[in-house]
Structure 1
Amino acid sequence: MKRLLLLTGWLLGLASVLASEPTGRWVATWATSQQLTEKGNLPPEPGFTEATVRQKLRVSIGGEKLRVRFSNEFGNSPLTIEAAHVALAEGFADAKIQPGSSRALTFRGAASVTLHSGATVISDPVDLALAPMADVAITTVTKASPSDVTGHPGSRTTSYFAYGGAAPDAADLPEAKRTDHWYFMCSLDVWTRRPAAAVAILGDSITDGRGSTTNGNDRWPDILSQRLRANPATADVAVLNHGVGGGRVLRDGLGISALRRFDRDIIAQPGVKWLIILEGVNDLGTSSPETVAATAQELISAYDQMITRAHDHGIKVYGATIMPLGGFKNYDTPEREAARQTVNAWIRRSGRFDAVIDFDAVARDPANPARLSAATDGGDHLHLSAPGYKVIAESIDLGLFTR
């Protein structure tokens, strides 16, 4: 009897503790894929030496509090962040933040953190409520950085570099140097009590937004995010843009291959429920006419593997067809067009994807299906214009993201 009473008391105590715990979860609301920054995409001199760096981004869903993840994945030596702050941004035209909104980021309570080569770190939670589609500024202070810098060159967003001891919570950095790249920061998560989840997008420069407007947030994932926010049934679906300029599925390009970064960019992101794959045109375009048919079969096998890996984690996978490459530099050959048709036929008809998003059908010229239409072509016959990105984003059925 005594044991029974003790067990009953323990269970009642546990129930009381569980009842007092806040219900909610962490969900990524913004993310970008990390790459080794090429020399031409490094910041202006003196770079990260005694630098206060303010970088801006737009989240998708909101939340009660947040945390930020930084990466030194490609660094050849440790990176020390001396201080870091997060704040609500005053748009993207300059380095201004909203007065009184800056909060210090900590790491196990410490103001600074050192990331060894290859490492990432997640900040402690910060009590800063974010509204959906909020503009956020992340400011870091560094004394130096590795010579091999981890970042995301295709940010299409301006970052601000100030020197002379500028404080990370300064309302503005008026004398800052500017560069249109992101460095070291790779994701921002929100804590929410709402039934939120995320769709991650695995892609190349078309998803990364080449041809979109710098600081305009008009890449096709941005337009999708706006549409999801405006629809009550999908308002809590976050959008994570994992596009990499020049990216390929099978082999490394300007960034590591989609197969290599799959776990990092998809599986490891908190709250991912859906995955869109729009990648493969660079695999076809960089294969020779003699080998591109074999590359098409390799791509199909790679898609099949990614579907299996995602399904193992309860993630639905939507296949987006590869859009036309006709007229683009050296990509345009009959053999590559035939390979594109082979891959797209498999995406549409194999039944392996949970659904198909047929961007090819939306973006192509009806009179010349091997080429982009005038309404979508960004001018180089491969990348889309800002209006073109809007066209493909508006073609997506939002019902794919309801539970």
Structure 2
Amino acid sequence: MKILPALSAALTVAAALSVTPSAQAAAVWQAAWATSLQSVPDLANPPGLYARPEVAGRTFRQIIHSDLDGSEARLRVSNRYGSQPLVVERATLARSDGAAGLATGKVAAVTFGGHASLTLPPGAEADSDAIAFPIVHGQALAVSLTLGTRQTMQAWHRIANRVNFISTPGEHAATASSADFRARTTHYAWITQLSVPGTAAGSLVAIGDSITDGLRSTFGARHGWPEDLARRAAADGQPPVAVLNAGISGNRLLSDSPCYGERLAGRFDHDAAELPGVRAVILLIGINDINFAATPARRGLDCDAPHTRVTANDLIMGYKRIIADAHRRGLRIFGGTLTPAALPPEREALRETVNQWIRRGGGFDGVVDFDAALRDPRRPNQLLPAYDSGDGIHPSDAGYAAMAKVVPLARLRDILSHP
């Protein structure tokens, strides 16, 4: 078991010293699925959309899909944004039946330092031991965590764009039937990464806001542009490419949010650059920085706060800092142009200025012109109607597919194969 980062003696992780440094160093892992977490607003009576599901003493079953094949797997458990210890009593990995149940076959126990249970203090993360379980790209996997009797959900990926499942009280990590998993949620929590033994090619991270998160694509169909890009790569007769989705709906480049997570400039290292086996990044962020300055303040939970007004130079300097960080780590980084959002003239001018810098500024290693792929030629400040999900901002399934199509896959393959 690997603990991230190194922790003080206050860390209570069962038998962490049972894994020798030489055994830990021998494994070379590559991320094949990932998600990014955000804090749950800490309110006594939150709005319904931000109410925490009841998880204490229950089993939380999450459905994930690996983009790579592997003979074994490793899971990362995170308490990064927690303010209380995270207690996992038992964890398993199995094939999903497509809903709350498990498909026929092996249910693999997930251990940490050889032990079934794990306690992580606030801010800590841990990698599991290697799990002897065959991973096939594209297949649905069920990760089941039985939580401690006092556990609460303090961080989540709020919009997983799929259903995950919570059991009735009790330990159900190996239960194959769906009958005991009656509660539904659209969140991911605690599990942030699945890795497999490293392959010749590296992984790609797509990091950004709701348009990377896949908001308003068909629910449960995995039709965000990163998922479509992974399918495109798998269908071209060459080895699959892991496209890791680090999008968070509502996220901004320069400002934290009580609802939409740590600013991307702050989370970039953790959520993108430090993932194992990553060699390239596609960055698409900034439209919420432009928009949230103009949204009205709300009483109670104001998710758009702070309503910071930004200039084009503010955003450009933010991009430059991320580019420099990526290059220090030996990563190639592509800039995605900001997509049409039917903005009023002042904000539209800001979007256009930023896009011109992304295209011509010379800072990124390449450009993915999402704006050109999606805009209506007659009204370039708007999405093409066929690519509009209906709100004027988020693409439809067809729009997300058009975004995936414009990514220079051959060039990315070359980068991923030649560090």
Q: State the TM-score bracket (shorter-chain normalisation).
A: 0.7 to 0.9
Contact 2:107 2:174 in 1 (8 A): yes
Equivalence for 1:29: 32
Equivalence for 2:9: none
Query: How many Å apart are 1:165 and its aligned residue?
Result: 2.4
Equivalence for 1:130: 135
Query: How many Å apart are 1:43 and its aligned residue?
Result: 4.7
Contact 2:55 2:152 in 1 (8 A): no
Distance in 1 of aligned mates of 2:113 and 2:105: 24
Specify the code of the residue in structure 2 equivalent to 1:238: A
Distance in 2 of aligned mates of 1:219 and 1:61: 18
The answer on 1:218 being equivalent to 2:223 is yes
**TM-score (ref. length: structure 2):** 0.84
The answer on 1:384 being equivalent to 2:395 is yes
**TM-score (ref. length: structure 1):** 0.88
The answer on 1:51 being equivalent to 2:58 is yes
The answer on 1:73 being equivalent to 2:80 is yes
Pair 374,35 (structure 1): closer, same or farther in 2 beyond 3 Å: same
Equivalence for 1:96: 101
SS of equivalent to 2:282 = strand
Distance in 1 of aligned mates of 2:191 and 2:309: 38
The answer on 1:341 being equivalent to 2:352 is yes
Query: How many Å apart are 1:232 and its aligned residue?
Result: 3.5
Equivalence for 2:71: 64
Specify the code of the residue in structure 1 equivalent to 2:55: F
The answer on 1:296 being equivalent to 2:312 is yes
The answer on 1:350 being equivalent to 2:361 is yes
Equivalence for 1:8: none
Distance in 1 of aligned mates of 2:136 and 2:395: 30
Equivalence for 1:151: 156
State which of 178, 196, 202 in structure 1 corresponds to 2:201: 196
Pair 205,145 (structure 1): closer, same or farther in 2 beyond 3 Å: farther
Equivalence for 2:11: none
Pair 310,341 (structure 1): closer, same or farther in 2 beyond 3 Å: same
Contact 1:66 1:128 in 2 (8 A): yes
Equivalence for 1:323: 339
Equivalence for 1:369: 380
Pair 292,336 (structure 1): closer, same or farther in 2 beyond 3 Å: farther
The answer on 1:256 being equivalent to 2:281 is no
Pair 169,146 (structure 1): closer, same or farther in 2 beyond 3 Å: closer
The answer on 1:208 being equivalent to 2:219 is no
State which of 171, 184, 188 in structure 2 corresponds to 1:178: 184
Pair 41,292 (structure 1): closer, same or farther in 2 beyond 3 Å: closer
Query: How many Å apart are 1:402 and its aligned residue?
Result: 1.9
Specify the code of the residue in structure 2 equivalent to 1:116: P
Contact 2:212 2:224 in 1 (8 A): yes
Contact 1:33 1:242 in 2 (8 A): yes
Pair 71,97 (structure 1): closer, same or farther in 2 beyond 3 Å: same
Contact 2:289 2:310 in 1 (8 A): no
Computing the radius of gyration from Cα coordinates, the structure with the larger value is 1
SS of equivalent to 2:81 = coil
Specify the code of the residue in structure 2 equivalent to 1:69: R
Distance in 2 of aligned mates of 1:147 and 1:23: 35
SS of equivalent to 2:102 = coil
Contact 1:279 1:322 in 2 (8 A): yes
Query: How many Å apart are 1:293 and its aligned residue?
Result: 8.4
Specify the code of the residue in structure 2 equivalent to 1:392: M
Specify the code of the residue in structure 2 equivalent to 1:180: T
Q: Cα deviations across residues 12-48 of structure 1 (Å, max 9, x unaligned)?
A: xxxxxxxxx999731100111111124434454xx11
Query: How many Å apart are 1:149 and its aligned residue?
Result: 1.1
What is the aligned length?
371
* Structure 2 unmatched ranges of 5 or more: 1-23, 296-306, 415-419
CA RMSD between the two structures: 2.1
State which of 272, 277, 289 in structure 2 corresponds to 1:271: 277
Distance in 2 of aligned mates of 1:164 and 1:150: 21
* Structure 1 unmatched ranges of 5 or more: 1-20, 327-331
Q: What is the percent sequence identity of the aligned residues?
A: 36
Query: How many Å apart are 1:70 and its aligned residue?
Result: 1.2
Query: How many Å apart are 1:110 and its aligned residue?
Result: 0.7
SS of equivalent to 1:98 = strand
Distance in 1 of aligned mates of 2:309 and 2:251: 19
Pair 42,67 (structure 1): closer, same or farther in 2 beyond 3 Å: farther
Contact 2:87 2:151 in 1 (8 A): no
